[in-house]
Amino acid sequence: MTTKTALITGASRGLGRALAGALARDGWSLVVDARDGAALAAAAPPGATAIAGDVADPAHRAALAGAVAAAGGLDLLVNNAGTLGTVPLPRLADQPLDDLAAAFATNAIAPLALVQAVLPALRERGGAVLNITSDAAVEGYPGWGGYGAAKAALEQLSRVLAAEEPGLAVWWADPGEMNTAMLRDAGEDAAAAPDPAEAAAALLRLVAERRPSGRYRAGDLR
């Protein structure tokens, strides 16, 4: 039986780290990335191919696609890497446009670029794409306009990808609030939020059960 392979971005902490650990325990082969090489090396499960870099960098994405090819195929792409953009979170009236462009580059364009890079491998195995989104993509929270707009773009890209690639499972999933550095950076009380492992366990049900393509909330999957 062929070992299943997953590519997970943003795997050095938070939800990405939790997903990588859970899949490794289930016997998956992993390619993982994060910007911080030292943190990635410390977090990567034993045997995982860890490649440090920025998903907004085309050369780094090419390296990830090369690792997928070396692994012999791909069953799951998890686009988890993301950025808040400007912090403290600004009102749209004060949103620096260069920061907004960078947020779109990381949160929407890079996930699509990775899909394009590994799509032949996913098609060959009838694989799946799990794009991590946020309730900020569908709600009007003051201060969250830039981040939310980029995640809304990711959701629409996911929706169209699901329509165009019926042979794949395409999920865009809101993990809910989690105790993460990103939530702390946003000025929220991260300590009161659930551990990312809870969301990871819920989202992995999508993978195990191969639910239909669509938008999911981790809280509805537990």
Positions annotated as catalytic residues are 147
**Residue whose C-alpha is closest to residue 205's, from 73, 17, 29, 22:** 22
68 token code pair: 């997928």
CA 209 and chain centroid, separation: 19
- Single-letter code of the amino acid located at 125: R
Name the packing angle between helices 58-71 and 110-125 (round to 10°). 10
Q: Which residues, 6 or more positions from 57, have their beta carbon under 8 angstroms from its beta carbon?
A: none
Element (H, E) at 131: strand 128-132
